[in-house]
Amino acid sequence: KYFDLIQFSKSLIEEMEPNKKEGQTIKIINKTPFIEVYLDSKLLRHVLSNLLSNAIKYSPVNAKITISITQEEKWISVQIKDQGIGIPVEEQKDIFQRFFRAKNAINIQGTGLGLYIVKQYIELMDGTISFKSNPKEGTTFFIKLPLKPKQNEKNLID
């Protein structure tokens, strides 16, 4: 159940390779070479691949996407940053709702379920998700996840 989040993210980026548009790059920024986490890897994979596929889909060719991973005292924070079309300010409050699609995204394929599921999964992992978006600069999602299992959960499993 413990695994290295850096290696995990690197292989996920490789898996996303075929989805990228021409010239798009995905880079990982990490200060430490390993970050051991105790999380449900299926849920985490789903979350990160959804956010990365949005970053790809809502960004033009040649855009840069970065994932920054930092370990804090009790949390890991993951930021996924793109240089895409952004989310119109007046619609930002709705983006985690089921079937929501922003008006600047109507010509781009999607069902509006991705972020709804992402949010549910983050909550199942006892984490939080927020974002900052600006139609001129792009979008950054901020995830915080617990570094270690809750004490009671750990006792049950170990």
Q: Coil, strand or helix: which one is 149? A: coil
Closest distance to ligand ATP from the beta carbon of 105 (Å)? 3
Token reading at 116? 């709804």
Given 52, 102, 143, 145, the residue binding ligand ATP (CB under 6 A): 102
Closest CB to Mg ion among residues 46, 148: 46
Instruction: Enumerate the H helices of the chain as residue ranges.
Output: 5-16, 41-57, 114-124, 151-157
The listed partner (Mg ion, ligand ATP, none) that binds 127, CB under 5 to 8 Å by sort, is none
Work out the number of other CB atoms within 10 angstroms of the CB of residue 126.
13
Q: Show contacts with ligand ATP in window 41-70 (CB under 6 A).
A: 54-55, 58
Binding mask 45-74 toward Mg ion (x if CB under 5 A, else -) reads ---------x--------------------
C-alpha 122: how far from its chain's center?
10
127 binds Mg ion (CB under 5 A): no
Given 39, 65, 84, 145, the residue binding ligand ATP (CB under 6 A): 84
Given 86, 122, 127, 149, the residue binding ligand ATP (CB under 6 A): 86
E strand spans, 11-149: 25-30, 36-38, 64-71, 75-81, 128-134, 138-146
C-alpha to C-alpha distances, 143 to 7, 71, 132, nearest whole angstrom: 18, 12, 12
Closest distance to Mg ion from the beta carbon of 23 (Å)? 21
Q: Are 81 and 65 in contact (CB under 8 A)?
A: yes
Residues forming the site for ligand ATP (CB under 6 A): 54-55, 58, 82, 84-87, 95, 100-102, 105, 110-116, 139
